[in-house]
Amino acid sequence: MKKTFPLLSILLIMAGCSHSSAPGGASASSVAVPNYFHVDAATAGTISGSVHFSGQRPAKKTIEMSNDPACVNANQGAVYDDSMIIDDHNGLADAFVYVKSGLEGKTFAPAAAPVTIDQHGCWFHPRVIGVQVGQELDVVNSDPVTHNIHPMAQVNHEWNHSQGPGDPPMKRRFTKQEIMIPVKCNIHNWMHAHIGVVDHPYFAVSASDGSFTIPNLPPGTYTLEVWHDHLPTQEQQVTVPAHGNAKINFNFKAK
Amino acid sequence: MSASKLKSAMIVGILALLVGCGSSEKDRPIGAVVAISVPLGLPPVPIPADNVPTAETIALGRKLFYDVRLSNDNTQSCASCHDSKLGFSDGRRLSIGVHGLAGVRNAPTLLNAAYLPLQFWDGRAASLEMQTALPIQDHREMDVSPARLLFRLNTDATYRAMCEKAFGSRLLDMVEVEKSISAFERTLLSGDSPFDRFYFGGDKSALTAAQIRGLLIFQDPGRGNCAVCHSIRKNDALFTDGKFHNLGIGVGDDESLTDNGRFGQTGTASDTGTFLTPTLRNVALTAPYMHDGSEKTLEAVMDYYAGHGNSNPYLDPEMTKIHLSAQDKSDLVEFMKGLTGAMPQQAGPPTKE
């Protein structure tokens, strides 16, 4: 793909066309509309559950922002690393849960609504985000400083783009499943995010209490995987009954 | 002037235009060659053999440079977009020409343009002489045909007299217009900046502590890495390598470029989105920045470099070698402010003689 993209863009330039397809994307002429799977609302079910972390919690790490005074100003007082957020009841936030297997042979239309990642207070919000293959990702900078979003993709096309204060949102898409793409800001070394790109719509990011919900699933048996920045991944099987709710809990223990 | 005289002037003008396309003996300056004094930090000015500078050609070029008759509706002179008070640029994101039409690129400074091996962001003119005719005829800039321009100039006795003195010919032709404006542009040199006095003049107090830190960062391949493209040589510094690079300016969401730059001239794929490295001399005077004027301040340019630019298939690999802290960025900005040089003498609008 890294090889074909320059070629594709040269052809487009020579044809005098200023808009090429998304990087690495298929050329417009060759794609037939895929046969998208239609989920029957009458039988669709839900997986819900939670992610917990128990045992000794990692020590809080302070973040040094003095490198950029505008970032210091955007945050009140001491700033701590936010990559491991556990609430009073051991709920673990920012875990990425997705259906790893059980949907083989089904193709899903990319969600029409874009997901947004905002650079705000010199942090990425949200810190962990899921996006479907082909779904639009809007990158916003609401800070008064220049940021730089650098998704260090390995399966997808890796890119890096500067976004000044007040610049319009960037609209990007990923073309292949990739769990996860680490994202950094080349300017502010503490800024990190992760993007999970999934080739179907069945994924979720755990909320601050560790809870998550994956709705509108066709009935069936699935393997769910949970990913967290600092923890080894876990898997569990779950069966979703027709029009029912399957519960599943993940538990991480401190080593 | 009588109608018949006017008509004959016009015919001669058109004839002069027709024959005046190539450079010939008759378009050579006849006056005594003047030595162009070069300020500290700059190399000798390259002079083409067929356009040696004379006091007369320079004076003629200066008058032409500031003359609005060089534009269709008598509103624009070269100085409209290359204003001596704005470092010979225009302070605009994109230039606005005749009929209020916006151009597509940011107007570069003309200070030290005499040293550039190629002119324009995409290098489409090989010399100042070849460059000059382009804005005059460009529909978005001055939009005046050579015949019309020569008619306007040759019906003015002052120009006829100046032409006689400069080239020994009765009427101006386009080659003479181009040569004299170029001769004037070769006097638009600016050096002797605090940096020059520090680096070449041995005056250790010419730069502040922050500026000296900035200079070191500028030259350090592992930090600023700036000097690989914005060259500083042993005895002089133009702050440009005269080459073309893709910094990712104007990259869209699909990684195509709004302006393909040098590629438009060469058709070579690796030239896609590359632009001539601009000089950084007097850069503090010439905001906004980049070929599309998209960066408003020097601070914003530093943030852009700290981020390694925008990826696209032709991004210059030197971009990823840059590593700048906030302190480094502010030191670099301070350093660049130390590149504001002495302004050339007798470069402003000529006074009525």
Please write the tens of the pLDDT for every residue from A91-121. Answer: 999 999 999 999 999 999 999 999 999 999 9
User: Which of A25-34, A53-62, A67-76, B186-195 is predicted least confidently?
Assistant: A25-34
Residues 54-93 of A with CB under 8 A from B: 67-69
- For residues A71-98, give the mean pLDDT: 92
HEC profile for A125-148?
ECCEEEEECCCCEEEEECCCCCEE
Q: Which two tokens stand for residue A147?
A: 């940021």
Q: Which residues contact B157 (CB under 8 A, 6 or more apart)?
A: none
Q: Say what the pLDDT of residue A78 is.
A: 85
A14 part of a folded domain: no
| CB contact at 8 A, B262 and B119 | no
Residues in a beta bridge with B33? B54
Assess if residue A15 is contained within a domain: no
Count of CB contacts below 8 A, A vs B? 77
Answer whether B137's CB lies under 8 Å from B144's CB.
Answer: yes
Position A33 in a domain: no
pLDDT tops 70 at residue A24: no
* Cross-chain residue pair B254–A23, CB shorter than 8 Å: yes
CB B138 within 8 A of CB B97: yes
Q: Give the A window 184-213 contacts with B, CB below 8 Å.
A: 185-187
Partners of A169 in beta bridges? none
Say yes or no: B305 contacts chain A, CB-CB below 8 A: no
Per CB-CB distance under 8 Å, the chain A contacts of B309 are 160, 162
Q: Report the C-alpha gap between B91 and B111 in whole angstroms.
A: 15
* Residue A31: per-residue pLDDT: 62
DSSP notation for B309-347:
----TT--GGGGG----HHHHHHHHHHHHTT--PPPTT-
Chain A residues within an 8 Å CB radius of B327: 67
φ, ψ dihedrals at B313, nearest 5°: -60, -15
| H-helix or E-strand spanning residue B209 | helix B209-219
Asked if B303 lies within 8 A of A146 by C-beta distance, the reply is yes
Confidence of residue A5 (pLDDT cuts 50, 70, 90): very low
Q: Are the Cβ atoms of A67 and B258 closer than 8 angstroms?
A: no
For residue A98, being part of any structural domain is answered with yes
End-to-end CA distance of chain A: 40
Quick one: chain B helix, strand, coil %, rounded to 5?
A: 40, 5, 55
Domains, in order of start, for chain B: 3-190 (1.10.760.10), 194-337 (1.10.760.10)
CA–CA distance from A29 to each of A32, A91, B328 (Å)?
8, 48, 48
Asked if pLDDT for residue A219 goes beyond 50, the answer is yes
Q: Are A37 and A220 in contact (CB under 8 A)?
A: no
- State how many domains chain A has: 1
Choose among A68, A255, A140, A161: nearest CA to B255. Answer: A161
Among A37-41, A73-77, A116-120, A147-151, where is mean pLDDT lowest?
A73-77
Q: Which residues sit opposite A213 in a β-bridge?
A: A48
Among A128-137, A203-212, B21-30, B242-251, the range scoring the smallest mean pLDDT is B21-30
pLDDT of residue B283: 98
| pLDDT greater than 80 at residue B226 | yes
The answer, yes or no, to whether the previous bond of B344 is cis (omega within 30 of 0) is no
Contact A200, A231 (CB under 8 A): no
Answer whether residue A79 is part of any domain.
yes
Please, what is the end-to-end C-alpha distance for chain B in angstroms? 22
Give the structural domain span for A231: 45-253
Q: Please, which residues bridge with residue B102 across strands?
A: B96
According to DSSP, the residues that pair with B121 across neighbouring strands are: none
pLDDT of residue B237 exceeding 80:
yes
Average confidence (pLDDT) over B111-130: 95
**Interchain proximity B307–A158, CB inside 8 Å:** no
Q: Which of A12, A21, A161 sits opposite B311 (nearest CB)?
A: A161
Residue B223 has pLDDT above 50, yes or no: yes
CB–CB of B54/B34 below 8 Å? yes
Give the mutation candidate from B256, B266, B295, B298 for the A interface (greatest A CB count, under 10 A): B256
CB A106 within 8 A of CB A37: yes
Residue B138: pLDDT band (50, 70, 90) is: confident
Point out the least confidently predicted range of A58-62, A147-151, B295-299, B321-325.
A58-62
CB contact under 8 Å between A164 and B255, yes or no, is: no
CB B70 within 8 A of CB B76: yes
C-alpha span between B141 and B95 (Å, rounded): 8
The two structure tokens encoding residue A209: 């209490």
Average of per-residue pLDDT across B326-332: 95
A243-A248-A249 Cα angle (round to 5): 155
**DSSP 3-state of B157:** helix
pLDDT, position A59? 87
Q: Are A165 and B303 in contact (CB under 8 A)?
A: no
In a domain, A5, yes or no: no
Q: Residue B100: what pLDDT?
A: 80
Q: Which is nearest to A100 in space by CA: A210, A236, A244?
A: A236
- Among the partner-chain residues A12, A164, A171, the one whose CB lies closest to the CB of B253 is A171
B60 touches chain A (CB under 8 A): no
Interface check A241 vs B, CB under 8 A: no
A57 vs B25, higher pLDDT: A57
Task: Report whether pLDDT(B44) > 90.
Answer: yes
C-alpha dihedral sign at B67, B70, B76, B78: negative
Instruction: Write the DSSP string, chain A.
Output: -TTHHHHHHHHHHHTT-S---STTPPPTTTPPPP------TTT-EEEEEEEEEESSPPPP-B---TT-HHHHHHS-S--B--S--B-TT-BB-S-EEEEEES-TT---PPPSSPEEEEEETTEEESSEEEEETT--EEEEE-SSS-EEEEE--SSS----EEE-TTPPPEEE---S-EEEEEEE-SSSTT-EEEEEEESSS-EEE--TTSEEEEEEEPSEEEEEEEEETTEEEEEEEEEE-TT-EEEEEEEEE--
Q: Which among A75, A115, A123, A94 has a CA at the least distance from the CA of A231?
A: A94
CB–CB contact B256 A20 (8 Å): yes
Binned at pLDDT 50, 70 and 90, residue B296 comes out as very high
Inside any domain, residue A4:
no
The answer to whether B313 contacts A9, with C-beta atoms less than 8 Å apart, is yes
> Which residue in B252, B272, B308 is closest to A160 by CB distance?
B308
Give the residue-averaged pLDDT of A226-232.
96
User: What DSSP designation does B26 have?
Assistant: G
| Contact list, B93 vs chain A (CB under 8 Å) | none
B42, B89, B82: which is closest to B62 by C-alpha? B82
**Cβ A5–B307 below 8 Å, yes or no?**
no
Which of A9, A23, A162 shows the shortest C-beta gap to B304? A162
Q: Is B169 on the interface with A (CB under 8 A)?
A: no
A1, A9, A157, best to mutate vs chain B, most B CBs in 10 Å = A9
Chain B residues lying within 8 Å of A145, measured CB to CB: 303
A144 touches chain B (CB under 8 A): no
Say which CATH number the domain at A169 has: 2.60.40.420
Q: CB burial class (10 A; 0-12, 13-18, 19+) of residue A138?
A: middle
Examine residue A87 and state whether it is found in any structural domain, yes or no. Answer: yes
Which chain A residue shows the shortest CA-CA distance from B271?
A: A10
The encoded tokens of residue A30 equal 């060759």
When mean pLDDT is compared over A58-67, A87-96, B12-21, the highest value belongs to A87-96
- Contacting residues of A for B295, CB less than 8 Å apart: 164
- Write the CB contacts of B234 (distance below 8 Å, at least 6 apart in sequence): none
pLDDT at B21 > cutoff 60: no
User: Which tokens in the block code for residue B244?
Assistant: 């073309």
> CA-to-CA distance for B248 and B295, rounded, in angstroms?
13
A235 alpha carbon, distance to own chain's centre? 18
Establish if A4 touches chain B: CB-CB under 8 angstroms.
no
